[in-house]
Chains A and B, each alone.
Chain A
Amino acid sequence: MHRIVSWPVAFVRFWYHFIIGDDWTVAAAVIVALLVTALLNARGVVAWWLVPLVVIVLVTVRQYRAR
């Protein structure tokens, strides 16, 4: 029973660590930035700059906070 439960858990854990990594807030911020970009684009607003800006801010803030 333990093996039956642990295999899917290990599978999900592998993909979680592979994609999300050690900081889920970075993934969440990227998804929000993509959604906002899609909404702005649908309203005819030029929004290609938003995701690169979020990436630069995210990386800089995360490096600054990392010890």
Chain B
Amino acid sequence: MLVALWHFAVDRRWVAAGIIPSPAQVLQSWYIWIFGSSKAMLSPYSGTWVDNVIYSTRRVLQGFGLAALVAIPLGLIIGWSRLAARLIDPTVQLLRPVPITAWLPFAIAVFGIYDASALFLIGLGAFYPIVVNTTHGVRDTNLLLLRAARMLGADTVTILAKVVFPSALPSIFTGLRLGIGVAWTAVIVAEMIAVKSGLGYVLWDAYYVGRMDICVATMFSVGLLGFLSDRVIVWAGRLVLRWRTLEAHA
């Protein structure tokens, strides 16, 4: 429906001609962008889609992976220890409202126009939802399960690994889903300014040279990738949390 509306809006000149491309134009440019020969040089974008998708996806996965690697253990500690919460949590909560875009100049000043800048921004963006949800999940752990583990002889490390962590997993997966969403937002912002490759870079570059068709194709590409990565996490979550679906049916 949206596509039809879009088609007619362009076709009937409801919107300024030449600025907004038609769906057919976008599809065609997208096709060339993906499958075009890079040697033909008819369009500078021809055949570069896969490379740029790989650049962006790699950054997202690296930044997101890094964020998860730091945020999950940190969330476990903050949720578990009142002392750690008092030491770490205020800092996290104070920095959390600072938008990723506001970190851009800082990131470039520290890391330069390199991948590290992008990874920092993506990682930071994904970090907050993961740490907050992990903390929440840990605090929700049933006291009775903790007592059961203790009377069965588990020490604190075992309890964290074998009881608190699995019990917090549903919340952790919520955090991961939110985190991957932020990661895709962050990668576009970072690539627009902090590096010279990837979908975000193409988006900004295409805008500058007036290739709105490529801009729109990029938007769809990012949307699709974001959707797919979210599905992957949901699917992984279902796999890991099979016991929970059993509970829901009981």
A and B bind: no
Interface residue ranges, B against A (CB under 8 Å): none
